[in-house]
Amino acid sequence: MTDSSPSFENASVAALLAQRSREDRGALLNELVSVLTGVIPGVQVERSLLRRNVKAVRLPVGEFVYVLRRSAADAVDASRHHIVRGVAIKTVPLELDVFLEELGLALDAELRRTDRGRDALQSWLNGTPR
């Protein structure tokens, strides 16, 4: 008997992020914020003043900070910052697909490391529309 509900044991965050970015890039920032704010320590969210829409999200994972920023034209700019002793020593702009793959692999390891992370990942999987 097979279980049709998704499970974090056989799903990768990288694959989920890639799928979600193809479905709706505009919703990607909001989804990352809602899933990761309480799970990854130090997530920083920048919102617009009037509508409170997410303009940017900074996700510290290991020695890197991954940044997604929505431009005025509603495009999404992605970059990875290498942080040493609290200082960004290198910033690399990335194409969104490359960014999501790297971030997904880093988050995969981080989320699976803790019970809280595994619960958040499972909740995200269950809430992912098919």
Distance in angstroms (rounded) separating the CA atoms of residues 70 and 46: 10
Which are the contacts of 59, defined by CB distance < 8 A and separation ≥ 6?
32, 36, 40, 43, 65, 66, 67, 103, 107
Distance in angstroms (rounded) separating the CA atoms of residues 123 and 80: 27
Closest by CA to 40, choosing from 92, 88, 106, 127, is 106
Q: What is the pLDDT of residue 73?
A: 78
Q: What is the pLDDT of residue 130?
A: 37
Residue 109 is encoded by which pair of tokens? 């390891």
Q: What is the pLDDT of residue 83?
A: 93
Q: What is the pTM of this model?
A: 0.72
Q: What is the pLDDT of residue 67?
A: 94
Q: How far is CA 114 from the centre of its chain?
A: 17
Question: What averages of pLDDT result for each successive group of 10 residues across the chain (130 residues)?
Answer: 44 59 65 74 87 86 90 84 93 90 80 71 59
